[in-house]
A and B are shown apart, each in its own frame.
Chain A
Amino acid sequence: MSVPLLEIKDLHVQVEGKEILKGISLRVEKGQVHALMGPNGSGKSTLSNTLMGHPKYQVTQGQILYRGENLAGLKTDARARAGIFLAFQYPTSIPGVSVANFLRTAMKARFGEAFQPKEFRKTFKAAMAELGIDEGFATRYVNDGFSGGEKKRHEILQMKLLKPELAILDETDSGLDIDALRTVAEGINHLRGPELGILLITHYQRILNYVQPEAVHVLINGQIIRSGGKDLAHELEAKGYAPYEVLKEPPKEIVSK
Chain B
Amino acid sequence: MDSVSPPLLVKWEIPSPEIIQAGVILTDLDSALRQFPQMIEEYLFQTGTPEGFPKFVALHQALWKQGLFCYVPDGVRVELPLRASTQIVSGAGAVFPHTLIVVGQGAEVTLIDERYSQGNGSSDAVVSDEMVEIFLKPGANLRYVHPQQWAPSVTELFTQRVLLDRDAQFFNVMVTLGGRLTKGNVETVLSGTGCRSELLGILFGSGSQHFDFHTLQDHQAKATFSDLLYKSALKDTAKAIYTGLIRIRKEAQKSDAYQANRNLLLSQGAQADSIPILEIEADDVRCTHGVAVGPIDPEQEFYLMSRGLPSTEAQRLIVEGFFEQVFKRIPLDSLREQLMAEVTNRLSSVHPSTSSG
Contacts and interface: CB of A to CB of B under 8 A. Distances in A.
B321 interface: yes
Contact of B305 (A76, A101, A102, A162): A76
Contacts of A110: 307-308
Contacts of A109: 307-310, 313
Nearest to B310: A77
Contacts of A141: 321
B306 A105 contact: no
Specify which of B297, B300, B323 lies most central, judged by the most chain A CB atoms within 10 Å of its CB: B300
Interface string A75-103: 11101110001101001101111000110
Interface in A49-88: 52, 54-56, 75-77, 79-81, 85-86, 88
Contacts of A54: 302
Interface in A102-145: 102, 105-106, 109-110, 141-142
B307 A97 contact: no
Given A102-B317, A105-B313, A109-B313, A96 B322 contact: yes
Contact of B324 (A55, A75, A86, A97): A97
Contact of A97 (B299, B305, B318): B318
Interface string B302-331: 111111111101100110111111000000
A172 interface: no
A55 B323 CA distance: 27
A158 interface: yes
Contacts of B313: 105, 109
Interface residues of B, number: 24
Contacts of B322: 95-96
A81 B317 CA distance: 18
B357 interface: no
B300 A96 contact: no
Contacts of A77: 305-306, 308-311, 314
A80 B305 contact: yes
Given A96-B324, A97-B317, A97-B321, A106 B309 contact: yes
Specify which of A79, A101, A105 lies most central, judged by the most chain B CB atoms within 10 Å of its CB: A105
Contacts of A76: 302, 305-306
Given A80-B308, A105-B313, A92 B303 contact: yes
Contact of B307 (A75, A80, A101): A80
A56 B317 CA distance: 22
Given A94-B317, A96-B323, A141-B321, A55 B306 contact: no
B314 to A, nearest CB: 8
Contacts of B308: 77, 80-81, 106, 109-110, 162
A96 B321 contact: yes
A158 B310 CA distance: 17
A85 B305 CA distance: 11
Contact of B297 (A91, A92, A101): A92
A162 B308 CA distance: 9
A52 B302 CA distance: 9
Contacts of B352: none
B298 interface: yes
A244 B309 CA distance: 40
A196 to B, nearest CB: 17
A105 B310 CA distance: 11
Contact of A94 (B304, B306, B311): B304
Contact of B306 (A86, A97, A101, A142): A86
A92 B297 CA distance: 10
Given A94-B303, A96-B320, A55 B309 contact: no
A93 to B, nearest CB: 8
A53 to B, nearest CB: 8
B303 A95 contact: no
Contacts of A80: 305-308
Specify which of B297, B300, B303 lies most central, judged by the most chain A CB atoms within 10 Å of its CB: B303
A141 B322 CA distance: 11
Contacts of B302: 52, 54-55, 76, 92
B324 A88 contact: no
B325 A55 contact: no
Interface in B233-277: none
Contacts of A92: 297, 299-300, 302-303
A162 B307 CA distance: 8
A105 B318 CA distance: 12
A105 B299 contact: no
A81 B307 CA distance: 8
B306 A52 contact: yes
Q: Which 10 pairs across A and B sit closest by C-beta, in order of nearness?
A: A96-B321, A96-B324, A109-B308, A97-B321, A106-B307, A80-B308, A76-B305, A77-B305, A110-B308, A81-B308
Given A75-B311, A80-B305, A109-B313, 16 more contacts: A52-B306, A54-B302, A76-B302, A76-B306, A80-B306, A81-B308, A86-B306, A88-B303, A94-B317, A95-B321, A95-B324, A96-B320, A96-B323, A106-B307, A141-B321, A162-B308
14 contacts: A76-B306, A77-B310, A79-B306, A88-B303, A91-B303, A95-B321, A96-B324, A97-B318, A97-B324, A105-B317, A106-B304, A106-B307, A109-B307, A162-B308
Interface of B: 297-300, 302-311, 313-314, 317-318, 320-325
